Amino acid sequence: MSRDGSTAIVAKRTAQRPVQTDEIRALCESAGLDVVGERTQVRGRDPTYDLGAGAVQDIADRVDRADVDVVVVDDDLDPEQAFSLEEQIGASVVDRTRLVLDIFADRAETKRARLEVRLAELRYELPRAEAKAKRGESSGRRGFKSGGEEPQAAQMRADYKQRIKHLRETLDQLDDADESVRDARRGSGFDLVALAGYTNAGKSTLLRRLADDLDVDRNDRRHDDLTDTAASEDRLFETLNTTTRRATVDDRDVLVTDTVGFVSDLPHWLVSSFRTTLAAAREADVVLLVVDASDSLETVRGKVETSLDELADASGTVLPVLNKRDVAGDLDAKRSLVGDLAGDPVVTSATENGGIDDLRNSLGDSLPDRERVELSVPNTDDGNAFVSWCHDHGTVRDPSYGDTIDFELQARREVAAKAEGRAAQLGDD
């Protein structure tokens, strides 16, 4: 749902100081909202409004005076809290999760992303639709309960769950297709690298620094993450859709995928709705965990810990990258902190192209070891075509040409095994 041009007041309650609103304001900006004010409060959670009654009344007065369209609450509201706030304030109330879903919906360009967004929206809307049905709002009598209300709520619940089930089944099919693509890319000799981390950490800019001039294949449109460019605007969720580019690390062909950024304080069910998108990171050979060095020390700690939780089942190596060193304070302390949590980080400045060579070297060291096989094939047209294939899928060392072509191939295990089989077949022909 686009909110472009709407005015908003940001409201945030926290149990202890400091009260930080930078991220929720950035989320509002990404959603197209014009933030015209904010109201913060330090206190425990109110069961009726989340915010305290005094803050709610203050917001209601501001909404009335300035004709504000939306109040954005930087918290997850249960359905009753959202209903109560809207009644009291007299404006649309959006909580943090709803705002993020709106941004996701605006950024979703691929079939996969659109399906995942819709799945997340349905899971968010289900308890709210149930609460609305129980309030009797379908008859326009808020708070009035009729004998037909419970059956209506039950039917609504069944409808939502059926739609959720259908979306999950469709996404499972895409999971299988994505796994086939990853297997095919590995079988073609590519190592798979993913960029992960919080939004606005500089992942897209790092992708541009690492990538070669050419994309994976300008004529290949079978997989919707292939693109010529990777956007790097300074806004949250610029890359909801994954973007894959070709890179060369040492003498190895690598595919680097920029994935959707993490956001703090999102419920687990919302993150899990994007499992196919995050699979690019979890199934990569190496995950570059990009950390914003301009954040405060405690913010760095929280973001790294949350990112590691999301990557706990990653199959490859997690290599931390402390980015934005050009605008960072307490850099040594942050380097030490990230090192304690995730391993020794590579320190970079993607905007200034600083530390990129160090990153390439560390990435090369983190890639999976390659098999070394000695091969010998007849020096024929078929034999030369096979050597050319080996050049495309790995690294050919010390070739010698006589009656046979003898050489060493360094390649991924899958490629080396296939090469040995093809060489044996050529030798038998």
pLDDT of 350 > 50? The answer is yes
Q: Is 258 one of the annotated binding-site residues?
A: yes
Q: Is 203 one of the annotated binding-site residues?
A: yes
Q: Is 204 one of the annotated binding-site residues?
A: yes
Percent of the chain at pLDDT exceeding 70? 87
Question: In CATH terms, is domain 371-428 a member of 1.10.10?
Answer: no
Count each helix (H run) and each strand (E run) in the chain, helices first: 14, 13
Q: Is 419 one of the annotated binding-site residues?
A: no
Q: Is 324 one of the annotated binding-site residues?
A: yes
Q: Is 187 one of the annotated binding-site residues?
A: no
What CATH number should be reported for the domain whose range is 189-366?
3.40.50.300
pLDDT of 230 > 50? The answer is no
In 198-285, the DSSP E strands lie at 243-249, 252-258
Whole-number Cα distances in Å, 227 to 55, 175, 198: 47, 20, 22
Q: Is 198 one of the annotated binding-site residues?
A: yes
Q: Which of 122-126, 227-231, 376-380 has the lowest mean pLDDT?
A: 227-231
C-alpha Rg value of the chain to the nearest Å: 26
Q: Is 200 one of the annotated binding-site residues?
A: yes
Rounded to two decimals, the pTM is 0.74
DSSP 95-161: EHHHHHHHHHHHH--SHHHHHHHHHHHHHHHHHHHHHHHHTTGGGT-TT---TTHHHHHHHHHHHHH
Contact 59, 11 (CB under 8 A): yes
- Helical pair 297-310 and 331-342, crossing angle rounded to 10 deg: 20
What is the tens place of the pLDDT at every residue in 30-77? 889 999 999 999 999 999 999 999 999 999 999 999 999 999 999 999
In the chain, the amino acid numbered 247 is: A
Residues in the chain: 429
Q: Is 323 one of the annotated binding-site residues?
A: yes
Q: Is 107 one of the annotated binding-site residues?
A: no
Mean pLDDT of 194-203: 88
Domains 7-104 and 189-366 share a fold: yes
Q: Is 261 one of the annotated binding-site residues?
A: yes
> Which pLDDT value is given to residue 16?
87
Q: Is 418 one of the annotated binding-site residues?
A: no
What is the tens place of the pLDDT at every residue in 158-193? 899 999 999 989 988 887 777 888 888 998 899 999
**Banded pLDDT at 141 (limits 50, 70, 90):** very low
Cα separation of 190 and 188, whole Å?
6
Question: In CATH terms, is domain 7-104 a member of 3.50.30.50?
Answer: no
pLDDT of 124 > 50? The answer is yes
> Which pLDDT value is given to residue 109?
75
* Domain-wise residue ranges, the chain: 7-104, 108-178, 189-366, 371-428
> Which pLDDT value is given to residue 200?
82
Q: Is 201 one of the annotated binding-site residues?
A: yes
What is the tens place of the pLDDT at every residue in 295-338? 999 999 999 998 898 888 889 999 999 999 999 989 999 999 99
